[in-house]
Structure 1
């Protein structure tokens, strides 16, 4: 068994146990209850253990959360369709925007693909990189425009009087933020399993992720927080009461630099409105009080399979 096969089997066994425990709370046909199944957290397509067979057209694949190029690791399984589409829809925008931000903030080692215009004439692709002592390095990709070589040579000979402009493109801002929401949602699934995602409030997230061009969620729950310590994980939001729910904190690692991301996620307490309705109405959120969630076996302990619902109800009713 290869390392990849072993990891997929371990994850399937873990979350299929969680499915067995939680499925009894769902109105499902009997053939889907009490069996070791795995529902893709993105599309909820159900797989039995044969879904681990990588020769199948529709199969379960390892999902890096966050994306591997941004410091993530294989954390859960998603179906190959959802996994492959995420790279096209979201991950590339997340990577490009993160690289652009690190470069523009002049973080040492930050680099970005650019288009360089020389003396208002030739354009050529290249890579710009922040070097030590607040200096900038530029690598010209000559094959992208061989006709630009005379202008490059002239620039080097007349560096003091020459000019060049950098055209820097990041990711699509909306898809950049939806990618963050996707990571937060999958981190919540990784911690709580189906007890968190099989809910009408989280269905809204899946709808937005499946339809990125539709304005299903106006305020995606991305917030800026000041941290006194380096913490990551899923936390319980206790205040303000109108946004009681969960907070996902995670890092994006690029060019040796770490960016902290904070995303609010819906609670599962009974309410007529969603977190996103509240965020849409609020001009500002103010201070967010959140607390640690005990590190227990929420996936395989049957008594804990609906813990995220109980956490939300407790925080909403008592504020503690």
Structure 2
């Protein structure tokens, strides 16, 4: 048994509320699909024969690792190596202003973790800097082998390379002139574009799971998105359905719209960097549970820089917390 799971205060404040809410969703989906056919990850027949799936919470990012309610399940979980530690994860990443939280297994949390957070923040640093946002900054490396004196501030020299921070509204550091032009290594392109977009798609997935539970996560689209996060499947477009917007009309939340006879969902976030400070709005497009909707992403988001959402955006209010366990797949034919 992992040490964190023995922390009764953490278990009571985080684990039990998730089991209370999403265990009902898990059971509802298993009833609809038929318990004999219902499989999530390594959960096999002996575990499914427990009295109620309401006593489980399954990690939404892998649909594999579980946490339980009652002590009497410990022996069974241990036998099938299904006991895992769980952590609280932020979405979007905390480094870019994410404040929403959800419970995921430690393995999935560590796979994404701080490396992705740092990459997402670096992407926004570059975006804000080249957009001229006051107090924004980037880090640059400059070849200057002749310069061997210490430089004050956020600049240092090592092995002929100067690493410095350039910040809007502040004077750049003074560098001694050399025999030739300075060679700046920063390319000026936004770094980690793909990682940033995948991080926002993952955040939108978690937002949808928080609203719809296992009706969404166990759907064909939910499982495809999980495969995208694991690099087992290519997303239909390079944009990953992620777009910046200047619209202030929508709060953080999920909205529904129709395009070409298919239903799509839009997840809005406000992201930014607190120390600048500067924030911008983004939205992520999530398809409904049909093959046409998934393929339609190629045409709906063909331009990685912008897309036009036609039709009215309708807020999605029905959630698992309110007892709506089939909201995501309710309006689609491919269940």
TM range (shorter): 0.7 to 0.9
Superposed, which structure 2 residues align to 1:121-160 within 5 Å? 122-131=160-169, 135-138=170-173, 152=175, 154=176
Q: Are the equivalent residues in 1 in contact too, given 2:254–2:316 (CA < 8 A)?
A: no
Distance in 1 between residues matched to 2:248 and 2:325, nearest whole Å: 32
1:233 aligns to what?
253
The answer as to whether partners of 2:19 and 2:69 remain within 8 angstroms in 1 is: no
Residues 102 and 136 of structure 1: CA distance in aligned 2, closer, same or farther (over 3 Å): farther
Correspondence 1:194 to 2:214: yes
- When residues 108 and 225 of structure 1 are mapped into structure 2, their CA distance, relative to the original with a 3 A threshold, is closer
1:1-320 counterparts in 2 under 5 A? 2=9, 6-26=13-33, 27-28=37-38, 29=45, 30-31=48-49, 34-49=53-68, 58-87=84-113, 90-118=116-144, 122-131=160-169, 135-138=170-173, 152=175, 154=176, 166-168=184-186, 170-211=190-231, 215-219=234-238, 220-238=240-258, 240-241=259-260, 243-254=262-273, 255-268=276-289, 271-275=290-294, 277-281=295-299, 283=302, 286-296=308-318, 298-302=319-323, 304-312=324-332
Paired residues of 1:18 and 1:305 also in contact (CA < 8 A): yes
Q: Contact between 1:233 and 1:250, CA under 8 Å: does it hold in 2?
A: yes
Residues 51 and 88 (structure 1), Cα distance of their counterparts in 2 relative to 1, 3 Å cut: farther
Partners of 2:97 and 2:19 in 1: CA distance: 23
SS in 2 for 1:189: helix
Separation (CA, whole Å) in 2 of partners of 1:14 and 1:209: 25
1:91-125 deviation digits (Å, cap 9, x = unpaired): 33212111111122221121233213459974211
Separation (CA, whole Å) in 1 of partners of 2:326 and 2:121: 34
Normalising by structure 1, we get a TM-score of 0.75
Larger displacement relative to structure 2 (221-230 or 190-199): 221-230
C-alpha displacement at 1:37, in angstroms? 1.0
**Does the Cα contact within 8 Å between 2:254 and 2:315 map onto a contact in 1?**
yes
Please give the TM-score of this superposition, normalised by the length of structure 2. Answer: 0.72
Aligned length: 285
Q: What secondary structure sits across from 1:76 in the alignment?
A: strand
**Aligned with 1:23: secondary structure?**
helix
Q: Equivalents in 1 of 2:280, 2:270: separation in Å? A: 5
Cα 1:13–1:221, aligned 2, differ >3 Å: closer, same or farther? same
Q: Check whether the contact 1:90–1:178 (CA below 8 A) recurs between aligned residues.
A: no
1:75 Cα deviation from its structure 2 partner = 1.7
C-alpha separation in 2, matches of 1:231 and 1:186: 17
